[in-house]
Amino acid sequence: MTHRMSLRVYYEDTDMAGIVYYANYLKFLERGRSDAVREVGCDQLDMRDRLGIVFVVRRVEIDYLAPARMDDVLVVETVTSKLGGATMVMDQRVLRGETVLVAASVKVAIMSLGGRPARLPAEIRQQLATLME
C-alpha cells in the first residue's frame, strides 16, 4: 500500500530564490513517514513509553529533480520496500500533480532508549508490513 499525504508550501519553506529550501524536503518526508506509520496503527509514543524503542533515521538517499514553489500543493508518497528484524527501508516521493520533484530512500533503524539497536516487535512488524507494495 502506498501512503499519500498532501501539504501546501508556505513562505517559510522557501529560500531567497522563492523555491523550497532543499533541507525542508527532509521535513516533508518525515511527516509522510510519521503519517504512514500512524495510519497503519503504529503508535510511536506508545513504542517509546511502553516498549522503550524508537525509530531513528540511519541513512537517506535523495534526488532533487525539480523545484517546488510557494503555495504549491504537494503529495508525499511513502511505501516500505524492505522490512527486516531491526531496520526498514521506506521509499518516498514528493510530487506536484504528476511531476516527481524529489525521490528518496530512507533506512530507518529501531533503537532502545539507551541508544542500542533493538528488534522490531512482531505486532509492529505486522502493522508496518501493510505499507509494503
**Catalytic residue of the set 13, 15, 43, 72:** 15
Task: Provide the pairing of β-strand 73-83 with 87-96.
Answer: antiparallel
Which secondary structure element, helix H or strand E, spans residue 30, and what is its range?
helix 24-39
Q: Phi first, then psi: what are they for 67, rounded to 5°?
A: -85, 150
CB 78 within 8 A of CB 7: no
63 is catalytic: no
**Beta-sheet strands, E only, within the chain:** 3-8, 53-64, 73-83, 87-96, 99-112
Name the residues annotated as catalytic.
15
